[in-house]
Amino acid sequence: MPKNGKRESTIVRTSIVGILVNVALAAVKAAVGLMSNSIAVVLDSLNNVSDALSSVITIVGTKLALKPATKKHPFGHGRTEYLSALIIAVIVLYAGMTSAVESVKKIINPTEPSYSAAGISFIAVAVAVKIALGLYFKSVGKSVRSNSLVASGQDALMDSVVSASTVAAALVFKCTGFRLEAWLALVISALIIKSGLALVAETVSQILGERIDPELSRGIKETVCGVDGDILGAYDLVLNNYGPDRFLGSVHIEVPSDWTAEKIDIVTRRIQDEVFRKHSVVLGGVGIYSVNSGNSSSSAIRAAVEKAAETYPEILQTHGFFADVQNRRISFDVVVAFGTDGRRDAYERFCRQIRNLFPGYEVSIHLDADMSD
């Protein structure tokens, strides 16, 4: 993953290539479409204009995303890239809907095209160019984690299908005299609309906030636990995304109850440093779960709690366990899976069971969300 400066220049350079290629293709297709009286080719040229506009939006979004943090936006402006990707997705959707309307008009009131061999050859070359451009955009977009470039690449590949279909329609007309292009344009419009809807849904999902990538989550937890051999576990990892690869989060660790405040301070600072060094993730907070050390009564209580939890398929995990036998208090967290029917009911039944197992104890069980692997 390139650093911010290199990432920005890569996105801008790729987008400029897209603008130049799409403007050239739009001009050629518009000329061919007007000369041959082909609605499909004219619509195809408009698709290239919208692609050029998408690249402009990508450049603007990338520049805005790199604006430094301010008092009003202390986490920076990285999420602007998601907004630019959403705008591109809407453009794709609008282009598909417009193409569908024009296609229906041509089906109702058909006109006879007049294709030339040169015109068909130009469109065939355009197909190869759009496929290459689409693959280039998607490859670069994935390497620098730019949703806007990936969306533009997907759009370019869909456009290559559009162009290929216009070539096919032209050949069918030349060979049989059958006017197929308006129907093909309608089918292609439906595919573009479907692609646009998928891009909108994907981008909105990212803006809403998605589950942490399992590989990243497990990697961070391994790093956390590897900082000190006495760390018993890492839990409750939360990462807030403020743009591609811009994460700010927190985590809880289980440590022996005899750790001093000085040791906790040293270890938590080391955790923050190591996680940032290895994963480029800022941990704004490291919470502490104190675990009973060297207390057989507490260990027996914990074993009983974990055995009870195993009878509930909805319960994924218990952690942060602490039993104060002297003052008769038990506290821990329980993770109940998302999508469980009666999730709250399962939690409450489990709480009642634990309280019945340990009458006379004050039992505090916190319901945790299944936020990370």
Query: Per-residue DSSP letters for 115-179?
Result: --HHHHHHHHHHHHHHHHHHHHHHHHHHHTT-HHHHHHHHHHHHHHHHHHHHHHHHHHHHHH---
Question: For 250-269, what is each residue's pLDDT tens digit?
Answer: 999 999 988 999 999 999 99
Tens of pLDDT, residue by residue, the chain (373 residues): 445 567 778 888 888 888 898 888 888 878 887 887 766 677 677 777 877 877 888 788 878 887 888 888 888 888 887 888 788 788 878 878 887 887 788 778 876 666 677 777 877 888 888 889 889 988 888 888 787 788 778 778 877 777 777 777 777 777 777 777 777 778 777 877 887 888 888 888 888 888 888 999 999 999 999 999 899 999 999 998 887 678 899 999 999 988 999 999 999 999 999 999 999 899 999 999 998 877 778 889 999 999 999 999 889 999 999 998 889 999 999 998 887 777 888 899 999 999 999 998 999 999 988 888 7
Per the domain annotation, does 96 fall within a domain?
Answer: yes
Residues 267 and 290 in one domain: yes
The dihedrals phi and psi of 264, each to the nearest 5 degrees, come to -60, -45
User: Considering the entire predicted model, what is its pTM?
Assistant: 0.71
Q: Three-state SS for 276?
A: helix
- Given the structure tokens 């989550």, which residue do they identify? 217
Longest pairwise C-alpha distance within the chain: 94
Question: Can you read off the two tokens belonging to residue 191?
Answer: 């595919």
Nearest to 141 by CA among 157, 128, 125: 157
Nearest to 19 by CA among 43, 57, 42, 51: 51
Neighbours of 156 (CB within 10 A): 27
Residues 168 and 244 in one domain: no
Asked if 151 contacts 92 with a C-beta cutoff of 8 angstroms, the reply is: yes
Residues 140 and 62 in one domain: yes
CA 262 to CA 188: how far, in whole Å?
66
Residues 98 and 118 in one domain: yes
Domain boundary among 147, 175, 208: 208
Q: Three-state SS for 370?
A: coil
- Given the structure tokens 């027996």, which residue do they identify? 300
Domain boundary among 208, 232, 261: 208
- CATH (domain of 88): 1.20.1510.10
What are the beta bridge partners of residue 317? 335
Residues 230 and 334 in one domain: yes
The dihedrals phi and psi of 128, each to the nearest 5 degrees, come to -65, -40
- CATH (domain of 357): 3.30.70.1350
Residues 229 and 156 in one domain: no
Residues 306 and 333 in one domain: yes
Question: Can you read off the two tokens belonging to residue 136?
Answer: 């280039």
Neighbours of 258 (CB within 10 A): 12
Domain boundary among 208, 229, 248: 208
pLDDT at 2: 47
Whole-number percent of the chain with pLDDT over 70: 95
Per the domain annotation, does 373 fall within a domain?
Answer: no
CA 82 to CA 239: how far, in whole Å?
17
CA 152 to CA 158: how far, in whole Å?
10
State the total domains in the chain: 2
Residues 220 and 333 in one domain: yes
Euclidean distance between the first and final Cα of the chain, in Å?
23
Q: Tell me which amino acid residue 349 is.
A: R
Per the domain annotation, does 8 fall within a domain?
Answer: yes
- Strands laid side by side in the 233-241 sheet: 233-241, 247-256, 281-291
Residues 227 and 299 in one domain: yes
Per the domain annotation, does 231 fall within a domain?
Answer: yes
Domain that holds residue 51: 4-208
Residues 225 and 341 in one domain: yes
What sign has the CA pseudo-torsion 128, 134, 135, 137? positive
